[in-house]
Structure formats: structure tokens, C-alpha cells
Amino acid sequence: MLETINFTSSELPACVTSEVLPERPPLIVYDDTNGATNIERQLAILPAAKRWIIDLVDTLAAWYSIDPKLVLAIIAVESNFEVKARSPKAAMGLMQLIPDTAERFNIKNAFDASQNIKGGIKYLRWLLSYYHGNITLVSAAYNAGEKAVDRHRGVPPYTETKNYVRRVLELYQRQTHPYDEKLAVPSPIITRPG
């Protein structure tokens, strides 16, 4: 828990050392104004019992320099904010990590929300580097795997993947995302200018 909060003192808080209930942060209410993005509109109607996921994503996404709205769009499409979600293909948790991906990013318990989101963000960060920030290719690879995207030189012709990419793009509403080019050698389908 301590790794997901800004704990700057060497003294333990009162909620740990005594029978005092912890202070609750104010509930963030997302304003559904005309300028709201689709993911913000979806978050505005998220049940109160799932709103803690937004704060957790905001914290973890900042650690890895990933837009939390991209992470939340992936979570919305992957699991609809269900911590214990499980797919027929053995994908687990909020970001639906398959066992190989969980192992690849050193996730021991894919049903632990913090670990799951960290693993999903690490994979997104790697994919952003590999596909030079192209959200279409990143979301296709998150769904079908980077090998399928490379083999088809773009979004694979799978109905599930095409629908997945469309839904992520509808929620996120951006085509590109900044990336760290040092994390991965670019995909062979990425053409460099010059």
C-alpha cells in the first residue's frame, strides 16, 4: 500500500498506530461538460465502489509517464473496471494480463489491482516505444500481441481486434502518445523519416 501513496514521513500515520479511522480524500467528481473526453464521460458514471481505480491509475501512470486516460481506456475496454475479471483465454484482472505478459513484467499476482495495473502500464510503455506512440498499433498489439500486428503489418484482420482498437480510440480520442525510444527497438513496420 505504501508504494501507491505519497508517504514522506518516517513516522507511521495514526491510522496504523491507533484505532483512528483514516481521513478519506475528497471524492473527485468528473464534470461532464462539453469539453469532456469520452473516457472522462465514462468515468463520470463509474460506480462509487470502483472510483478508487481512477486514483490508483493516476498515481501509477505518473510513475511511468503514461497518460492515465490511455490506461483507463484500456481498463474500460478490457475489464470494465472489474478487478477479478478473467477471460476464456486466461487473461486476468483489470488490464487482462495473460500469464506470459504477467511473467514478462514480473507480476506475481495479476488479480492484485496495483500489480495488475503496473504490469499493464509497463507493457503499454514498451508498446508505445516499439510502435513509436501510434495508439492504433499499440492497442491492436495489446489485444492481439505485437507478433500478430507485425505479421499483418498493422491491425490484424480479426474482428475482435478491430472492434477493440475502435473502442479504445473512441474512448481515448488521441492517435499518438509520447514515448521513450530507448525502451525498445522499433517494430519492423515502423518507418523512420529520412
Entry pTM: 0.81
Q: Which domain holds residue 162?
A: 39-172
The answer to whether position 106 is within a domain reads: yes
Does residue 23 carry a catalytic annotation? no
Catalytic pick from 78, 103, 170, 181?
Answer: 78
The answer to whether position 166 is within a domain reads: yes
CATH of the domain at 107: 1.10.530.10
The answer to whether position 19 is within a domain reads: no
The answer to whether position 45 is within a domain reads: yes
Q: How far apart are CA 165 and CA 40, in angstroms?
A: 18
124, with CB counted inside 10 A (0-12, 13-18, 19+), is buried
10, with CB counted inside 10 A (0-12, 13-18, 19+), is exposed
Residue 23 C-alpha from the chain's centroid:
27
- Residues 36-72 have pLDDT tens digits of 789 999 999 999 999 999 999 999 999 999 999 999 9
Please give the grid coordinates belonging to residue 141: 498489439
- Residues 64-113 have pLDDT tens digits of 999 999 999 999 999 999 999 999 889 999 999 999 999 999 999 999 99
Q: Is 134 helix (H, G, I), strand (E, B) or coil?
A: strand
Report the domain count for the chain. Answer: 1
Please give the grid coordinates belonging to residue 154: 498493422
